[in-house]
Structure 1
Amino acid sequence: MKLRAALLALTLLAGAAEAGPVLMISLDGLRPADVIEAEKKGLKLPNLTAFLKQSAYASGVRNVLPTVTYPDHTTLITGVWPDKHGVGNNEMLDPTGKNLQGWYWYAEDIKVPTLWDAVHASGGKVGSVGWPVSVGSLAIDENVPEYWRAQNAEDLKLLRAVATPGLIGKLEKETRLPLGALFGEDPQHDVARATYAIEIMADLKPQFMTVHLVSLDHYQHTYGPDSAESKKALEALDADVGKLIAAAKAAHPDVTIAVVSDHGFAAVHDGVYLDRIFAEAGLITIENGKVTDWQAYAWNAGGSAAIVLKDPNDAAVKAKVEALLAKLAADPKSGVARVIDAKAVAERGGSPKASYWVDFKIGYSGEGDFTISKTYTLKGTHGYFPDHKEMRATFMIAGPGIKAAKLGEIDMRDIAPTLAKVLDVKLDKADGKPLL
């Protein structure tokens, strides 16, 4: 097996050119089969299927715990799991709501070097549009980060302020698209993101460019994976990918392009309200509909939830929580598939804040509401343990010297070291190894 892997690596690198620039395009929620089996699924993806044929690609990418956007995207640019890079979920742990449901937006929360840092340190230019956990990165020369707060028009002022100074005004002028054109999760907003990225590539000619497009994820949450609406959104994204690839090649004929995703998707039909159960057990104190104190809290991540104890050394609380979780795991109607302890969480590279981690059954999603709504509206989600095949992410790479090949299933931690090798930069803290 090792000999075969070595031979494949040598074949893929045969005739490799000197280090060239890299464009990494993330299509949030893209499942590998959506491209590999596009024709079978009735999907018209001329750009993605053409790219697949010329690329080295994975049948699936085994991602991180939990399989949600921000931890996965941070692994994509660091090559380590959340326990090392520090981004343990989408939202920050905030049981009492003091952070107003803030997410891990800021690059300073990343505890290890990123590909952005490595390229910047080597003297290369870096550009980025919409990449998670990038606000305030000093390594990105031209940055339009993903960021919001109030989710209204005032956020446009905020986004303008946290982007590279002067960049938004320049992009608005050169593309004739106002910043508001990016502010949303529908396909037309991804068109605007791609347009801004194309302008950055033409002007900056970055050595490393990252772009995050989100409409497929949004439509799969809203309408479900494999829905007509989600398929239409993916077909629209295919056009964006085609334009981005063309622009990258125009800026740098020797560019290497990686098309990636963070996670897969599964259809859902019901919610699991762990915090409501904890509140009923006296582990969460609620006054006027708000949490005022807590002993145990479910840090929800869609298809799973980290169980965090305010005092991990409180034996009485620990025993009470373990009994509740065991009861839920034994109940076939609870939606709970399994529970792992802190040791198993550590082995999987999950956040060290978790004393336990609950994996829900496919079809169930963790919800934070303290009352169960009569109508459950979510149609799709992710966040389940990475063991589930439905959560597999996508990886395709093509460029000078890279031979078309099937890579089989890969570890997400190997992607950043692979791109570092192409870029000829060092990523010493990465746990993954170059695929090529």
Structure 2
Amino acid sequence: MRYLFLSTVIASTCLLAGSLFAQTRSAPVVLISIDGMKPEYVIEADAHHLRIPVLRTFITQGTYATGVVGVVPTVTYPSHTTMVTGVWPAEHGVLDNTVFDPLQQHPNTWYWDFADIKVPTLYTAADAAGLKTANVGWPVTIGAPIDYNIAEGTQSEHTDRPSGSPYHPADILEQIDIHLVKETDQDVTKTAEAVAILRKFKPDLTLVHLTDMDHQEHEHSPFSAEANASLEGLDRQIGQIRDAALAADPRAILVVVSDHGFLSVDHRVNLNVLLAGVGLIQVGAIKAGTKKPTITSWQAEAWPAGGSNAIVLSHPNDPVLVARVRQVLEAAKADPSNGIATILTHDEIVARGGFPNATFLVDYRDGFDPGNAFSGAVVQDAPSTGMHGYLPSRPAMWSAFLIQGQGIAAGRNLGVVDMRQIAPTIAQLLSIALPAAKLSPLNVR
């Protein structure tokens, strides 16, 4: 009888503890990135005749920013890493989308691997706090300590990157039982995966990265018919994710962000053609089976970063080389046809938290972006396309922040905020610590 009594007490205590844990556990957060979505798409939806009923509710029922000032450079991988760490690229270590490869030996080598990140992230902090985490397509997450992980990344040519599988557990696709034809739009696939994960596993923190809009803006320019149609489709997909999140937990908080803005482009500037022309890059024959040249040696090279170029020197402490490169860049800037707006020095780049290995940074004027060619014309036509990657101080590069859910203020406009505030805001919502983040959370409650 005594053992029966003790068993009853223990069972009751466990039930009470579980109930209290459920009551004190923070509301789950779903962080959705719409790659390339300028805030005007939502805030000025009427002006652009956009049918986006789900996103519109974030303005009336949630809290939003009129703009998010991003990082140097305003491209996808550094921006997404800042949004989950709260620090600039020079500190978190993801400096660009692609790894600097001056001899062009390893094409398409991206910052796929979680190991590239040098500071704690939202998902590592959540994991340390015992929370359940999930990811569908968020950049730089291969090998990350995420419970249910469908990471972004493909094998780079002639390298060991990425260093692991994009799937964890290895059978996660079988576990969530997703069956879609190969031709299905990637964002439709990612949405189905996110919905299935939310329903089956009920994570505390879920990350989702949707990319079709960015593709349409690159191909057709921002606010093109193609970009607008893409966002209208994404709006429906966000509605599906929202419904799954709320079904899993009615307290769920949804955060919709973007990583950068966009500019329309008509001209492409191949700065490496200029550098090769003065002997700073030695260009050999085109590699067999490719359109890429063989680079036999280099002293200075332009590293593409969307709408800007980081200029990296082989010997950055050589004052003669620095002066020579500066002279080439200043001469190029003096010719308006090259479209150069600004040339930053190393110290100016570092002060903005960008490329610690760059001696200069070239930012282009509206309508111009950098190309990848090492020979041929310096300036080429690229009509009716789009680009980002310009300095974050330019309003056209500002990204979006929208949030709604239990306890979130309705109809609150935060004005213009800093991208580094997003991570500490979500950390506060989840009651987890993110000590590397230096800025205060946003006032969303």
TM-score normalised to the size of structure 1? 0.90
User: Match of 1:7?
Assistant: none
Once the two structures are superposed, the pairs formed by residues 147-186 of structure 1 within 5 Å of their partners are 147-149=153-155, 161-170=165-174, 174-177=177-180, 180=182
Alignment counterpart, residue 303 of structure 1, candidates 307, 330, 341: 307
Q: In 2, distance between residues paired with 1:351 and 1:212?
A: 24
User: Match of 2:334?
Assistant: 330
User: Match of 1:380?
Assistant: 386
> What letter corresponds to residue 204 of structure 1 in structure 2?
F
Task: Call closer, same or farther: CA 1:150–1:71 in 2, change over 3 Å.
Answer: closer
User: Match of 1:319?
Assistant: 323
Residue 397 of structure 2 corresponds to residue 391 of structure 1: yes
Q: In 2, distance between residues paired with 1:302 and 1:388?
A: 14
| Contact 1:63/1:263 (8 A) holds in 2 | yes
| Contact 2:149/2:169 (8 A) holds in 1 | no
Alignment counterpart, residue 70 of structure 1, candidates 74, 77, 81: 77
The structural deviation recorded for 1:95 is: 1.1
The structural deviation recorded for 1:309 is: 0.7
| Contact 1:294/1:310 (8 A) holds in 2 | yes
The structural deviation recorded for 1:316 is: 1.6
The structural deviation recorded for 1:281 is: 0.9
Q: In 2, distance between residues paired with 1:169 and 1:343?
A: 47
Alignment counterpart, residue 233 of structure 1, candidates 230, 234, 243: 230
SS class of match (1:120): helix
The structural deviation recorded for 1:52 is: 2.3
> What letter corresponds to residue 365 of structure 1 in structure 2?
D
Q: In 1, distance between residues paired with 2:430 and 2:363?
A: 37
User: Match of 1:354?
Assistant: 358
Residues 53-97 of structure 1: CA distance to partner in whole angstroms, max 9, x if unpaired? 111100000000110000000000000000100111101001112
Once the two structures are superposed, the pairs formed by residues 37-436 of structure 1 within 5 Å of their partners are 37-137=44-144, 139-149=145-155, 161-170=165-174, 174-177=177-180, 180=182, 188-288=185-285, 289-370=293-374, 371-372=376-377, 376=382, 379-404=385-410, 405-436=412-443
| Contact 1:416/1:432 (8 A) holds in 2 | no
SS class of match (1:376): strand
Residues 90-123 of structure 1: CA distance to partner in whole angstroms, max 9, x if unpaired? 0100111222220111010000000010000000
> What letter corresponds to residue 147 of structure 2 in structure 1?
D
| Contact 2:109/2:156 (8 A) holds in 1 | no
Residues 347-388 of structure 1: CA distance to partner in whole angstroms, max 9, x if unpaired? 100020111111100111111112238653660010000011
Residues 378-436 of structure 1: CA distance to partner in whole angstroms, max 9, x if unpaired? 60010000011110000011122111210000000000000000000000011221112
SS class of match (2:320): helix
| Runs of at least 5 residues in structure 1 that lack an aligned partner in the other structure | 1-16, 152-157, 183-187
Report the RMSD for the aligned CA atoms in angstroms. Answer: 1.8
Runs of 4+ in structure 1 deviating by more than 4 angstroms, as ranges, are none
Residues 312-349 of structure 1: CA distance to partner in whole angstroms, max 9, x if unpaired? 11122111101011112222221100101011001100
| Runs of at least 5 residues in structure 2 that lack an aligned partner in the other structure | 1-23, 286-292
> What letter corresponds to residue 359 of structure 2 in structure 1?
S
SS class of match (2:65): strand
| Contact 2:147/2:169 (8 A) holds in 1 | no
Q: In 1, distance between residues paired with 2:216 and 2:252?
A: 31
Q: In 2, distance between residues paired with 1:386 and 1:37?
A: 21
